[in-house]
Structures are given as structure tokens and as C-alpha cells.
A and B are shown apart, each in its own frame.
Chain A
Amino acid sequence: MLLACSKLTVTYGGRIALKSFDLTLQPGEVRALIGPNGSGKSTALQAMAGLLRPSGGRAVIDGVAVDAIPRRRLARQLAYLPQQPTAPDEMTVAQLVRQGRFAHVGLLRSYSADDEATIGWALESTGLLALADRPLRELSGGERQRAWISAAIAQEARILLLDEPTSFLDIGYQVEIIDLVYRLSRERGVSIVMAIHDLNQAMSVCDRISLLAKGETVFDGDPKDLAETGLIETVFRVRGTFVPIAPNAPPHFDVELAHRQMRDGVLAR
């Protein structure tokens, strides 16, 4: 077991944002975190990245609490992509991705051929080679998001925490990033925890899924089992059905849109 959270509790000025959160992550496992806005997904990721001081419980890597690991050593083991990071105005894509190597080169060591190759690989994997020299401020929201993903994977950590990596991407790049996540886990043995809003993408790529509601974990398990609980409909306050799409794949959630009934009603009249 690589990363483990036990009874992790986070409060913001008295308000509980995450309650007794448990999670275990095996090498090469992809874990999806889903839940409504404000349910505590980002909070959980930040606590796992050692960026928040939990008021109870702890997150450990190989048995050592994350906040006891020196920052640079932690960064070699764990990379974190914030939900809405901002970068300095003038910074270019390549310069941002280079920062991902800081954990390896530190203050003084010069960038080796290996470092440069990794940076090239990270840019290529996110489709950014052509944009490498562009300042971030001149990029579209999706391009910028890919640049941040690129910086996170350039860190070459065993654990990757991604907070909504696909939220600004067009459908083509969404699939590409989901595929990248899958390949990282299967080919490089990277363990990934990913907060994500697209339920079907989450179910299709992850090995295990956690569903949060108001800071509490209401489901933790195999994505196929989630379909049978009916929790999606209650937690997200929607109506829909799980449709099987392939024998061995998790089913797709087909959400019922309110205006569809309305439109059908209008048309029927």
C-alpha cells in the first residue's frame, strides 16, 4: 500500500469540509473522487498532498505522514495538480513544465539530458510541443490546463493527484488526458487519484471510485457496484439510468434532462 488516508478530517474555521475520510491506494491504481460541488474533493486532495493541516486523522506514504516528509522529497513521490492554478504572466509553457523538474534538480544541479528528455516527453504527451514557447497568458483555458498537467507529469512521481484535469478540455483532449492517465498507471505503475465531474469518464478509467457528499464518503469501491446503489441519483439529485455498454465495462449513466420531458410534452401537444 502506497498512500493511505485514515480518518482524515479537515475543518475550515470550524466548518467541517472533510469528515473521517479513508482511502488506500495501491501502486498503479487509478482512483476517482466524485461528488457534488463543495463535497470535499479538492480538500481531500490537498490534505493528501500535505498542503492542509488536517484537524484529525492523517495521510501517510509508505507509513510516513505526508506533513513529516520534507517538501522536495515529497515532491519526488507525489505530484499535485490544483483545480485552478495561476502562473506568472510572462512564463512560457516550457518554463512551467521545467518547474516540474525542480524536485529532481533542486537549487543547484544543472538539468541533465534525462531531465530535458522528460520535459520533452511531458510536453508531447499533452500535445504541447508546438506551444512550448508561448507565454501562458496567451493560451486558451484548455491549453493552459494541459500545460499544468504537463508540469505535473514532468515531476515523474509515483503518485499523481489531479484535481479536475479535464474540466476545461474539449472532448478530444478529455479523452486524450483520460487515456494518458490510464497509460501512466498501466505502463509506468503510477498511482493516480483524480477528482472528476464526468461520471462516465470516471467509471470507465478508474479501478476504484469514492463518492463524497457534504464531506462524507458515501461510497468507496468498484465502479460497477456503484451503479447498483442508487447513490448517484440521491447525492446529485438527478434522475437517470445506468445503461450497460459492453460486457466487461462499467455501465454508462444516462441522465434524464428536465427539459427533455418539457420538450417532449410540447411536441406531443
Chain B
Amino acid sequence: MTPVPGIARNRRGLSSLPALAGLLLLTLGLSVFLGVADLSVSDIMSVLAGNGSPEAQSIILDIRLPRIVTGGLAGIHFAVAGLILQTITRNPLADPSIMGVSQGATLSVTLFLLFSVFLRDPGTTARITEMPLEWLPAVGMVGGLIAGAAVYALAFRRDLGPLRITLCGIAIGAVLHAIAIGLIAGWGSARIEVLLEWLSGSLYARSWEHALFLAPFTIAGLLALLPIRRALDLLQFEAPVARSFGLPYRQHFSFALFLSCGLAASAVGAVGPIVFVGLIVPHLARALAGAKTQLLLPLTVTLGAITITSGDLIGRLVSQADEIPIGAVTAVCGVPLLIALLRRTP
């Protein structure tokens, strides 16, 4: 029997995972210790040890930690959703927005805010604090899923090809986006702020409720990925090839699509449409993993969490009290990264 040579050429992939895990811990730590409110290190340490002043406790436990956890989970969602979509559509530019998920969520949140304000308080301008913000994640997620389902149904009626999915997604996404923008434009001023905040992707005032909203989806999504890893490998091929290797293509394509839409829609609901994470993180992970494709998923998960946590930290620190929303940070940092990645690929 001839031994099959191991895939040993690429050592980068192997060492990058612990390094990234370290980096993740570092960003998490920094995010706890650095922020707009000036807390001394000893204050923070004592909070972490279970004591500390009530003020420090509330800043760390009720503001910073839930924000970090929510951001990290959302980052994982966007990155993994992007990875799945890029894999199954064989389109390196795919991200959750091509399934219309972000746009569907945007429209549903817009409609929801519009109607809830209108129904609650007809005639007057409701104050932002009275808005039913606790519903936004669920509403956004449902909107995102409906848009994803519409794209799926349109593409499914003919053949469920990757190109058709992409085109349907772009078309439906554009329509939904236009409607949402139209509604926002024709609408009063006071409430726009909440919406803009959400639209630009923000971690401001994210509470444990947001983290708890996301966590079940994160766990279910990642667990569901494990048994379909080989199917995802095969979905990288054209349908006839995947089929002749023995994969029921349509079922697995649909399931993977459903999984990525669920991950993306729940994250969009919780933190708004944060752009570029779903697009870029999978490319970074691929560059680091090289031929060690089994590392692709763990690297994507780690990098997804790092990207949002560090992006949020930068946004908080750069402008102090007037935070720059995370969505703006990822967009600004994402473009040079994308260009750099494009330059190094042959």
C-alpha cells in the first residue's frame, strides 16, 4: 500500500490558529479595559473579581461586556454566513447582502418603526426612548429571512444555479433597499436617528438581551455546520460534478443557503447590517489557511469575532463620546484590506 503524502506544505495555517486565538483574547481584554468612561485598571480588576464600585460594575457588566459579546457573536454570524455563501455560489464577492438579507431586514425594521410609532402615538413625535427597541432583532431577522426566502423561491422556480441566485438576490435586494430608503425619506425627522443608527450597524447600547438573542443561533448554526462540512466541500464544484460524486445537490445547496440566511438575518436584526465582514473575513481566513482547508471554519469564526470586536474598539476610542458606528469602521478598514487581498491573489 502506498502511503498518501500528507498535506504538509503549508505550515502557516497551523500556527495561525493559536496566534489568532491569542489575538482574540487580547482584543476582548482591551475592549473590557478601554472605553469612553475612564475606569482605572484596579477598578476593573476588582469588578472582574466580583467586587468593585457600583458604577464600575454597571459600566463593565451592563455596558461593556454585553456589547463585546453581542459584537463577537454577530461577527461570527456574518463571517460564517459569508463563507458559506461564497462557497456554495462559487462567487468570491458573495456576502449576506446578495441574498437580500440585509435589505429585507432594513425594510422590515423601517416598516416596524414607522407603524409602531404611528400606532402608539398618532399625530405626535414619539421620543426615541419610547420606541419598541427590544423588538428590533426579531423584526429584522424575520424581514431578512423573508427576503432570503423570496430570493430562493424566485431562483428555485427555474434552476437553483449559483448565478441565478446571485442575480435574483441583487435584484430583490435593490428593490427592498429602494423601498426602505423611500420610506425613510418621506418620513419625519426625529425617528430617523434610531433607524440610521441601526442601519449603519451599531453596537451602541447593546445589552445582554441582544447577546442572549444571538447565542442560540450561533450555537445551532455552528453545530449544524459540523455534519455538512463534506457537503460544503462538494458544493464548491459545479452541480453535475457534485452530483456525480454522490451529493444530492439541491437538498444540500438549499440547506446551506438556509443556514447562511439564518445566521446573517439574526445578526442583522441584532446589530444592523454591518458591511464587509461577511465579504472579507472568509478571504482573510482562506489566505491564512492555505491548503489546510480544515482550518478554514475555525479561522473564519475567530477572525469574525476579532474583526467586529476590534472594529468597535477603534470606533469607540477614535471619537470618544460620539462613537463611530462599527459598520462605518468595518467599511473604512475593509476596503484597503480587500484591495490588499486582491493584489496578493494571482
Contact = CB atoms under 8 A, between A and B. Distances in A.
Partners in one complex: yes
Interface of A: 46, 49-51, 70-72, 74-76, 78-80, 82, 85-88, 90-92, 94-95, 99-100, 102-103, 105-108, 116-117, 119-121, 123-124, 129, 132-133, 135, 151, 155
B291 A135 contact: yes
B198 to A, nearest CB: 36
B293 A120 contact: no
Nearest to B10: A133
Contact of B241 (A70, A85, A129): A85
Interface string B319-335: 00000000000000000
6 contacts: A82-B240, A92-B7, A99-B245, A103-B245, A120-B1, A121-B1
Interface in B207-256: 227-228, 230-231, 233-234, 236-238, 240-241, 243-249
B4 A94 contact: yes
The 8 closest A-B pairs by CB, nearest first: A75-B246, A103-B246, A120-B2, A72-B246, A80-B244, A88-B236, A117-B1, A51-B240
Given A46-B240, A75-B245, A119-B4, 7 more contacts: A71-B243, A91-B236, A102-B246, A107-B230, A108-B227, A133-B7, A155-B245
Nearest to B228: A107
B9 interface: yes
A50 B248 CA distance: 12
Interface string B277-311: 00000000010001101000000000000000000
Interface string B1-29: 11111111100000000000000000000
Contacts of A87: 236-237
A102 B245 contact: yes
A51 B238 CA distance: 12
Interface residues of B, number: 32
A72 B248 contact: yes
A107 B252 CA distance: 11
B8 A133 contact: yes
Contacts, number: 98
A87 to B, nearest CB: 7
Contact of B5 (A88, A121, A133): A133
B245 A100 contact: yes
Nearest to B246: A75
Contacts of B244: 49, 51, 75, 78-80, 82
Contacts of B7: 92, 94-95, 133
Contacts of A129: 2, 5
A74 B290 contact: no
A88 B236 CA distance: 6
B246 A86 contact: no
A169 B343 CA distance: 33
Contact of A95 (B90, B231, B293): B293
B283 to A, nearest CB: 11
B89 to A, nearest CB: 12
Contact of A102 (B234, B249, B286): B234
Nearest to B244: A80
Contact of B2 (A50, A51, A92, A124): A124
Which residue, of A46, A72, A75, A133, has the highest number of chain B Cβ atoms within 10 A?
A: A133
Contacts of A76: 246
Contact of A71 (B228, B246, B293): B246
